[in-house]
Every structure is written in C-alpha cells, then in structure tokens.
Amino acid sequence: MIENTDSPRPHKGLEHKTIASAVASELRKRIVSGRFAGGFPLRQDMLANEFGISRVPIREALVLLESEGLVKIHPHRGAVVSTPSVEEIREVFELRALLEPRLLRISAPLLTAEDYSYLREVAARYVEGHRAGNIAECAELNTAFHLGLYRHAGQKKTLSIVAGLLQDSERHTRLQLSYDASRDIGIGDDARILSLCAAGRYAEACVVMKEHIEKAVATLIDSLCAGPQTG
C-alpha cells in the first residue's frame, strides 16, 4: 500500500503527480518482472483499492506507462499490459545494436580492475542462474552486465536511451530464456567481450557485442513464432 502522510500536505496537483509516479514505478516493476504478463488487465478500481488511493493517480500512472509502451489503454475497455509486436521487438534490438557498440568503444578503454572484477562476477552469476533456470535473475544480470560495460561512456543521453531499451529488452529476455531453444544464446559472449576488452582489442569487442544483440533478437523472434518447447 502506498502511504499518504497527513503533514505536511503537498499541493494537490503535486501530490497526485508524486503518488502517480510511485504507482507507475510499482506497476512498471511488475510488468518488467513478468508478474503482469502481456494482456493482463489493469483495472483502475482494483488498483485504487490495493494502493488505498483514488483512481485519479492510478489513471495518471497508466497514461505514463502507456507513453513508455508498457500499457495499452482501450477506450471503454480499460487498460491492459501491452504485448509487443515482432516489429517493436526488432526495433528495440536494432537500436541497441546501433548504440551499444558505440558506448562500449568509448567506455572499454576506461574500465578499471575493479570494473572487470564486478563484470566477471555478474557474468559468472548469469551462467549459474542460467544453469539453475532462474529466468528472473538472468534477465536482471543481463541488464546489469551491459550497463556496467558502458559506465564510463560519459554520454548521459545515450546511456539513458540504452537503459530504457534494456528495460524493454528485460521483458523480452525473460521470454527468450523461458524457451529451451534459445537458452544457450549469449552464454560465452560475455566472457569473450570481457577478454577482448582486457586485451585492448576494443574494436573486436564491439563487433562481438553487435553480433550478440543480433543473435539474441533473431533467436527471440524465432522462439516466439514457434512457441515454447515441451517435453
């Protein structure tokens, strides 16, 4: 439940925006984590009751999430969690393949021993989570690894865009890792990228990163079209 303090009271308009942002943050977590899957209905009355607030900030939160592509609002039918199309998924990964190698090329020469230690730990945990079938952890570690590689790029706007794309990708990565046919995609690429960066072979690392992203989206789309494997 999102608490409302009695004192001091913010301006009513500001209060609604603050509460709406908090609601949007919580719903965003549920969507990205897969707790609320594509098509899940987001009923304003139920959410208002859960959070103990009026429907006004709920409505504002849903509008915000719609602008991020996470929610679809249907007139007279309410809001549901959006289901990304193949075209939308492809666009997200194409943008990543364009921007991430650029960030890596800038950041890689500035990575420190401490950075490499952190990134190797994240990569190792990803492998462990992959073997254990921990889809949620793998998706989060994948995002952490990529952002860790670019931390010294210094391009705040580009990093902000990529962070948003990675958030979108996290939903897709969870789907990808849930299909046996694509479970091995990416294993080994992280270690290879780190080795190339450590050896000063930055251009090669950027090529591997681009290929890694392109392989991921190709396999994801194939898997989504084929459906989950059973047996």
Q: What is the pLDDT of residues 33-66, one digit of tens each?
A: 778 888 899 999 999 999 999 999 999 999 988 8
What pLDDT sits at residue 175? 65
The C-alpha angle 19, 164, 79, rounded to 5 degrees, equals 50
Mean pLDDT across the stretch 121-130? Answer: 90
Distances, alpha carbon 50 to alpha carbons 47, 58, 123, in Å: 5, 11, 38
Classify residue 229 by its DSSP letter: -
**CB-side neighbour CA atoms (13 Å) of 124:** 6
Rounded Cα gap, residues 115 and 117, in angstroms: 5
pLDDT tens for 149-184 read 999 999 999 999 999 999 888 877 776 666 554 456
pLDDT the model gives residue 94: 97
Name the nearest CA neighbour of 196 among 184, 208, 187, 205.
205
Q: What contacts 195, CB < 8 A, 6 or more positions away?
A: none
CA distance 183 to 129: 11
d(CA 46, CA 162): 33
- Tell me what pLDDT residue 76 has: 82
- The CATH number corresponding to 12-81 among 3.40.605.10, 1.10.1740.110, 3.65.10.10, 1.10.10.10 equals 1.10.10.10
Assigned CATH topology for domain 86-226: Four Helix Bundle (Hemerythrin (Met), subunit A) (1.20.120)
Residues of the chain with CATH 1.20.120.530: 86-226
Count Cβ neighbours within 10 Å for each residue of 199-231 and write b for 16 or more, e otherwise.
Answer: eeebeebbebbbebbeebbebbbebbeeeeeee
The tens digit of pLDDT for each residue in 76-95 reads 889 999 887 888 889 999 99
The yes-or-no verdict on residue 185 having pLDDT over 80 is no
pTM for this model (two decimals): 0.72
Range(s) within the chain of domains with CATH label 1.10.10.10:
12-81
